[in-house]
Amino acid sequence: MTRHDTSRRPPQLAPAAADRPFPRVVVIGAGIGGILAGIRLRDRGITAFTILEKADSLGGTWRENTYPGVACDDPAHLYSYSFEPNPGWTHRFAGGPDILAYYRRTAEKYRITPHIRYGTRVTDLCWHGDHWQLRLHDGTSMDADVVISAVGRLHHPSIPAIPGLSTFAGPAFHSTAWPSTLDTDGKRVGVVGTGSSATQITAALAPTVGHLALFQRTPQWVMTVPNNPVPGWLRWALRHVPWASGAYYRHLSRATAKATRILTRGDRTGYNQRAQAGLDTISDPALKAKLTPDYGPGCKRMVNSPNFYQAVQRPAVNVVTSPIDHVDTSGVVTGDGRHHSLDVLVLATGFQAHAFLRPMTVTGQRGIALDDLWRHGYLTYRTVALPAMPNFFMINGPYTPASSGSVVPILEIDVDYVMQCLDRIRADRVALAPRYDASAHWVSQVRDRASRTIWVTGGCHSWYLDKDGVPVNNPATRAEFADELAAPRYSDFEITPLAAIARTRVQTHHRPAPIDIEARQ
């Protein structure tokens, strides 16, 4: 891919309206993406911004997930902002509390916390001709010239409809709602699921519980990756040698890019052998058979764990493959008629990965709603913008390269692109929205590439796939994605001066009938 020629003058700050600063920016969400957006706004001298956060503290997924063993299975040094390296990571993979502490510390350092408004949930966004109106959960509203959604992708828990679940007498909860006072030592614990959260919980609890039943619907490929300590000499170099952090970051990035290319479209022989090697450490043939997937490695998101296969071989752990039939007051009954007596039931069942902006309603130009745009699939422009939604941007939207390693560098690419668009909005005082045809063309290209990856050809069903069986995921490597979003191609946008809009503004309190979106693409 080639870098785009913007062919325009450098952005110059246009005079602000006499009665208020321009642009007023609202960021939705105070997780990693929202904090990053705030930092980049301050870098540009834009201080008229507010970050709306539905919870009572920042941190996103690392605030929500506090279960035993919670950690990131991407290298810690890639799970930091590139401009704010953390030489203090002690292990290859960082634990949840350390990650949360890093982002809280960074938000304080860059003076983002004063901009955060906690306990505030956005219910509706509506474009009013030359600005956005945001309606909040308490019935109040606020206006913005630019809205940046940083709501994240994995924050709406997926709760399975298990008959009798509400009748269980003991603690029963999703892994994102782990009770801070819960004591599982010596208890009988049931864990439903086999993804990253379930793997981490199982490995953390196995040595201390009385019994652990791991209810597995589909086995996962788990890569046995040791969580080695960061050597002392490397920690010293990262802290004291000026070029060391950048060099180490680039080394990890290249390794991740190579893995992505192999995983999606290269010679996967070595990768498959590494995945199989973990299973080969299981001595019991029956247990090994239970844990062996019937699809190729990489078809689903790979799970990394230093000790999962060790944990499931403990006498106290039982992998249950018979489907759950129902829950009663004292445990789980499986399809084979067996009753599994439990004291605690944990639903490590993941998230509604395709919720994206929902449950917010978003209404743009001419009354066009988000549901209109997405009725037949996720129409988006380079993951960050939507047709008919002027001056509205998404971070980590549909067709983000979610399998290219750490999400943090991807968020930086998204935010840097959005900031370039904001430069144009600010300089020329315009409404900026991608064209329908440009958006549809870009989505078609990504879907075509994704349909030829292991995610489709590997023979499994995963949260990567939409209702048509096509991944809502971009197979681009980080470097390819960075090149594609290096600079906006403004010929792909509808650009309208805000002054002209104001003269002919049409209020959209009463939404007209939806237009034919397909005819515009």
Q: What is the DSSP string of 133-176?
A: EEEETTS-EEEESEEEE---SS-SB-----TTGGG-SS-EEEGG
Name the DSSP class of 11.
P
**304 SS3 class:** strand
The pLDDT tens digits of the residues spanning 359-385 come to 899 999 999 999 999 988 899 999 999
Tell me whether residue 56 is exposed, middle or buried, using C-beta atoms within 10 angstroms of its C-beta: 0 to 12, 13 to 18, 19 or more.
Answer: exposed
CA distance linking residue 330 with residue 252, whole number of Å:
47
Side chain identity at residue 96, one-letter code: G
The pLDDT tens digits of the residues spanning 443-455 come to 999 999 988 888 8
Q: Which of the pair, 178 or 517, is modelled with greater confidence? A: 178
Side chain identity at residue 303, one-letter code: V
Sign of CA dihedral 72, 180, 310, 199: negative
The pLDDT tens digits of the residues spanning 464-509 come to 888 888 888 888 888 889 999 999 999 999 999 988 776 665 444 4
- The answer to whether residues 85 and 76 touch, using CB atoms and an 8 Å cutoff, is no
CA distance linking residue 83 with residue 243, whole number of Å:
13
Q: Which of the pair, 511 or 263, is modelled with greater confidence? A: 263
Side-chain half-sphere CA neighbours of 156 within 13 A: 11
- The answer to whether residues 303 and 73 touch, using CB atoms and an 8 Å cutoff, is yes
pLDDT on residue 300: 84
pLDDT on residue 246: 85
| Phi/psi at 16 (5° precision) | -75, 155
- The answer to whether residues 432 and 390 touch, using CB atoms and an 8 Å cutoff, is yes
pLDDT on residue 283: 94
User: What are the tokens at 268?
Assistant: 């996967």
- The answer to whether residues 121 and 54 touch, using CB atoms and an 8 Å cutoff, is yes
**332 SS3 class:** strand
Name the DSSP class of 78.
G
CA distance linking residue 346 with residue 212, whole number of Å:
11
Assign 3-class secondary structure to 350-392.
Answer: CECCCCCCCCCEEECHHHCEHHHHCCCCCCCECCCECCCCCCE
* CA 416 to each of CA 41, 204, 308, 413, 421: distance values in angstroms, whole numbers, following the listed order: 10, 38, 38, 5, 9
Rounded mean pLDDT of 1-23?
A: 50
The closest of 129, 108, 128, 142 to 28, measured between CA atoms, is 142
Please report where in the chains the tokens 């490995």 appear, as a residue. 203
- With a cut of 70, say whether residue 325 has pLDDT above it: yes
**269 SS3 class:** helix
What lies within 8 Å, CB to CB, of 513 at 6+ separation is: 367
Name the DSSP class of 301.
-
What angle do helix axes 232-240 and 244-265 make, rounded to 10 degrees?
Answer: 120
pLDDT on residue 451: 87
Side chain identity at residue 340, one-letter code: H
Q: Which uninterrupted H or E stretch holds 127?
A: strand 122-127
Side chain identity at residue 226, one-letter code: P
Rounded mean pLDDT of 247-264?
A: 73
pLDDT on residue 63: 94
Confidence of residue 301 (pLDDT cuts 50, 70, 90): confident
Side-chain half-sphere CA neighbours of 384 within 13 A: 28
Give the count of beta carbons closer than 10 Å to the beta carbon of residue 105: 12
User: What are the tokens at 285?
Assistant: 């043939």
CA distance linking residue 192 with residue 346, whole number of Å:
6
User: What are the tokens at 211?
Assistant: 């019994």
The pLDDT tens digits of the residues spanning 208-223 come to 999 999 999 999 999 9
Give the count of beta carbons closer than 10 Å to the beta carbon of residue 160: 13
The pLDDT tens digits of the residues spanning 381-405 come to 999 999 999 999 999 999 998 766 7
CA distance linking residue 144 with residue 344, whole number of Å:
46
pLDDT on residue 355: 75
- The answer to whether residues 305 and 73 touch, using CB atoms and an 8 Å cutoff, is yes
